[in-house]
């Protein structure tokens, strides 16, 4: 088909026939449909192939995998790059780098003050102690900041989505103390892999890709007057550290892991076996006018 003939067809199809369209949504939908028409033409997509794609999308929705697909195809990372650019243009620089939220946050985790334990003690993992300070970009500590933390267990599974784990296992909100400090004890997470034979796995395999993430810990860090930070740290040494299917690894988010087997250090930490320790400080940018919100609205799981 001639391009002009496609566009003539589209013009007819996209003319409003009832009521007032919502201009932004109409402009975007019209553009996406137009681009897809041209893709079908350019690749000579056959009806069977088109309906295979529709069925794929239907099943991906039924499997609740769009969050995974958005991460795996790089959309979530792209949105981060755009937010970074908007902040840089507004003169907001410095601070801890953001990186993607992913689809596995659950709202409503217990709040603890200063420090807490994330694991429920049922799993025999390597003990990890992580601690640090929340500061603004000038280095001033922020007392009362909220550090929301969530991560996978030793099998790479997240509580709530993995019904074998207790409620809010490996999930807490920690409020920083008077010096802006937080500290938690947990177990070392393992890397994540997309559900085998699921929609994302099928797609990635077809694209010649894998669905693995390096071991990581997620954070939302928030305080009044500051840009909400969505970020993660990666566990150094993971084989997928620079081969993340979700493109979330960033310089500045790979803190050293200190392994401690010295009896005195173990006793000083109030433990009775060797442990790993990560020190990591968060720096929040100050909020500014006329910037896209750093707090992203999306459908999230919520547990009581």
Instruction: Tell me which residues touch ligand MBD (CB under 6 A).
Output: 68, 71, 100, 102-104, 192, 213, 246, 248
Nearer to Fe ion, 99 or 222 (CB): 99
Residue 246 binds which entry of ligand MBD, Fe ion, none, CB below 5-8 Å type-dependent: ligand MBD
Query: Tokens standing for 160?
Result: 């709530």
Q: Within 13 Å of residue 280, how many CA atoms lie on the same side as its CB?
A: 28
Q: Which alpha helices (DSSP H) does the chain contain, by range?
A: 3-13, 23-42, 47-62, 66-72, 75-89, 199-206, 263-268
DSSP secondary structure letters along 146-172: EEEEEE--TTS--BTTBTTSPTTTTEE
* Closest to 102 in 3D by CA, of 82, 76, 83: 76
CB of 172 to Fe ion, least distance (A): 15
Q: Is 67 in the site for Fe ion (CB under 5 A)?
A: no
Q: Show contacts with Fe ion in window 82-141 (CB under 5 A).
A: 102
CB of 157 to Fe ion, least distance (A): 10
CB of 101 to Fe ion, least distance (A): 9
Nearer to Fe ion, 102 or 180 (CB): 102
Nearer to ligand MBD, 103 or 116 (CB): 103
Nearer to ligand MBD, 170 or 223 (CB): 170
Rounded to an integer, what distance in angstroms lies between the CA atom of residue 80 and that of residue 99?
A: 7
Rounded to 5°, the CA angle 192-195-196 comes to 115
Site residues (CB under 5 A) for Fe ion?
102
């Amino acid at each position: 088909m001639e391009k002009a003939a496609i566009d003539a067809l589209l013009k007819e199809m996209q003319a409003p026939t009832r009521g007032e369209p919502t201009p932004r949504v109409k402009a975007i939908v019209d553009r996406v449909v137009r681009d897809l028409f041209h893709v079908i033409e350019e690749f000579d997509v056959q009806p069977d192939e088109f309906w295979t794609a529709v069925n794929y999308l239907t099943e991906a929705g039924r499997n609740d995998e769009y969050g995974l697909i958005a991460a795996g195809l790089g959309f979530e990372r792209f949105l981060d790059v755009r937010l970074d650019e908007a902040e840089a243009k507004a003169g907001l620089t410095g601070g801890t780098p953001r990186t993607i939220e992913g689809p596995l946050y659950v709202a409503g985790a217990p709040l603890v003050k200063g420090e807490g334990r994330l694991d429920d003690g049922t799993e025999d993992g390597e003990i990890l102690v992580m601690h640090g300070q929340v500061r603004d970009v000038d280095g001033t500590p922020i007392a009362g900041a909220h550090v929301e933390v969530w991560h996978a267990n030793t099998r790479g599974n997240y509580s709530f989505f993995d019904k074998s784990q207790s409620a809010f296992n490996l999930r807490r909100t920690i409020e920083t103390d008077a010096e802006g400090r937080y500290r938690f004890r947990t177990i070392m997470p393992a890397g994540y892999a997309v559900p085998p034979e699921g929609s994302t796995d099928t797609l990635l395999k077809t694209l010649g890709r894998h669905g693995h993430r390096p071991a990581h810990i997620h954070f939302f860090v928030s305080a009044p007057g500051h840009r909400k930070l969505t970020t993660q740290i990666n566990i150094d040494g993971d084989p997928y550290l620079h081969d993340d299917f979700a493109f979330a690894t960033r310089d500045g988010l790979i803190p050293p892991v200190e392994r401690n087997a010295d009896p005195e250090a173990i006793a000083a930490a109030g433990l009775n076996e060797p442990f790993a320790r990560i020190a990591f400080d968060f720096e929040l940018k100050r909020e500014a006018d006329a910037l896209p919100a750093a707090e992203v609205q999306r459908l999230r799981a919520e547990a009581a």
